[in-house]
Amino acid sequence: MEIVPFEEMSYENGQVAVDEVSISYVQNSDCTESNDEVQEIKLSARNNGVGRFVNIKTDNWSIDSPNDLVKLVNDFKDRAGIKE
């Protein structure tokens, strides 16, 4: 059995495809919150029949640099098997 991203699936080859992926990232609070708070951001990707759309959901997520957000999205792409 071969497991592949949905975009690479071929029904004729008996492959299994990953249709939906969801990852929650967490980090400690920033300096403006109490120390018990945990920040969470959830990235998910689901095939809609045409391609995968990535959804980002958070109530509170702080970054020091835009590069941190790029790293997060790239990590998600790798783990979710999203190819451009």
Amino acid 35: pLDDT? 65
Amino acid 65: pLDDT? 94
Residues pairing with 54 in the sheet: 45
Q: How does pLDDT run across 57-80, given as a tens digit for each residue?
A: 999 899 989 999 999 999 999 888
Q: Alpha-carbon distance 4 to 10, whole Å?
A: 9
Neighbours of 10 (CB within 10 A): 10
The helix/strand/coil state of 80 is: helix
The secondary structure of 58-71 as a DSSP string is: EEE---SSHHHHHH
> What is the pTM (predicted TM-score) of this model?
0.78
What are the residue boundaries of the structural domains of the chain, listed by start? 3-78
Question: Which of 19, 18, 30, 20 shows the shortest CA–CA distance to 58?
Answer: 30
Q: How does pLDDT run across 9-53, given as a tens digit for each residue?
A: 777 778 888 889 999 999 988 776 566 788 999 999 988 777 778
